Amino acid sequence: MAVSACTPQPLDCSKEDVFCVGLVTAYEGVNNHSLNQVSWETLQNIQSQAQMARLDYIESIDTRDWQKNIIFFANNGYDVIVTVGANLSETTVEVAKEYPNILFIGIDQQLDEVYENIATIHFAEEQAGFLAGVLATKFTESGIVGAVCETSGIDSVWRYCEGFRAGALHENNDVQVFVVYRDDESQDKIFNDPVWGEEQVLRLIDNGVDTVTGFGGNTAEGAFLAASEKDILVIGSEEDLYFQLPDIQPQLITSIIKDPGQALAFLVVQASHREILAGKYAGQITYTPLRGPSQDLENEAEEVLQGIRNGIFEIEIPDKK
């Protein structure tokens, strides 16, 4: 049901001079080339700086494991518990209420209320989409780009895909942008409808699209795979598709991913000094290495990214329909 990072050692994390940190994933493992991996690597990198006596992770296998996995660390006196993924928001709050002396850090989570022992690290998906849109416009030869997106009813999806539209048009107002959303909001298909993703990207290709992105788990992956089979350029999202979908490597420009590292490191180091900093913190958007012919635009991609981080671009997206 869970996998620990290392063999248990005779350390009492409940002691004041023993600083312990645990990480719980919602899905996948810590080597998923996405948020889990970046978060875990960040914690490993600051282990000495934060003087962690123990650093462990638990990889959740099933949604029924979420609460018990978090409580495992809480009951064993861990000082900081990091939970990764929006799906863990509710469970994190439930457990945090029962353990007020522990700092909980929710990555890619947004809460309506403020809790004294919960810090959340959130991301501006519209910035990720904007960067994808700018890059797509730089690579398109047909002047037509597109995005295959999960339901518009999910805020993060809407912000990424409308950010893509804004970025493409910012780079070239004459470019044509097609953004399609899945209307069927059946719970069992959300983020898990690769057939629809494939169908939509083929329609976009019929309309002249030669560079695509997508957002929405397996739904988007269906689009990416179908696009690559037609030799259409792909810009990935959420995770590094170079490793996740190796079959599309020849068509992959880059993947736009989330980086919680700076905020996570700051919060954990402060906690090691017995300072619990709750509230909302901003993570950063970044991109994976540009390979092959894409390397020629590395400097331009970096310039756009820094412009986004420095607030040079005004990214305006419409309200959800």
Sorted by where each begins, the domain ranges of the chain are 20-123+260-285, 125-257+289-309
pLDDT score of 4: 46
Q: How far apart are CA 71 and CA 37, in angstroms?
A: 22
**Model confidence at 177: pLDDT above 60:** yes
Q: How confident is the model at residue 229 (pLDDT cuts 50, 70, 90)?
A: very high
pLDDT (average), residues 121-138: 97
The single residue listed with the structure tokens 């190796």 is: 246
**Model confidence at 276: pLDDT above 70:** yes
What predicted TM-score, i.e. pTM, was given to this entire model?
0.88
Instruction: Supply the mean pLDDT for the chain.
Output: 93
Q: Long-range contacts for 63-72 (Cβ within 8 Å, ≥24 apart)?
A: 63/87, 65/1, 65/2, 66/24, 66/26, 66/91, 67/91, 67/94, 67/95, 68/1, 69/1, 69/2, 69/24, 70/24, 70/95, 71/95, 72/2, 72/22
Over the stretch 246-265, which tens digit does the pLDDT of each residue have?
999 999 999 999 999 999 99
Q: How far apart are CA 180 and CA 157, in angstroms?
A: 11
**Model confidence at 49: pLDDT above 90:** yes
Over the stretch 294-315, which tens digit does the pLDDT of each residue have?
778 889 999 999 999 999 999 9
Q: How confident is the model at residue 136 (pLDDT cuts 50, 70, 90)?
A: very high
pLDDT score of 185: 62
Q: How confident is the model at residue 183 (pLDDT cuts 50, 70, 90)?
A: confident
20-123+260-285 and 125-257+289-309 have identical folds:
yes
Q: How confident is the model at residue 10 (pLDDT cuts 50, 70, 90)?
A: low
> Burial code of 127-149, b = ≥16 C-beta within 10 A, e = fewer?
bbbbbbbbbbbbebeeebbbbbb
Q: How confident is the model at residue 190 (pLDDT cuts 50, 70, 90)?
A: confident
pLDDT: is 317 or 190 the higher one? 317
**CATH code, residues 20-123+260-285:** 3.40.50.2300
pLDDT (average), residues 63-67: 94
pLDDT (average), residues 158-168: 98
Query: pLDDT above 90 covers what percent of the chain?
Result: 83
**CATH code, residues 125-257+289-309:** 3.40.50.2300
pLDDT score of 154: 86
Interacting residues of 18 by C-beta distance below 8 A, sequence separation 6+: 11, 12, 53, 54, 77
**Model confidence at 7: pLDDT above 50:** no
First to last CA, the chain: 40
pLDDT (average), residues 254-280: 96
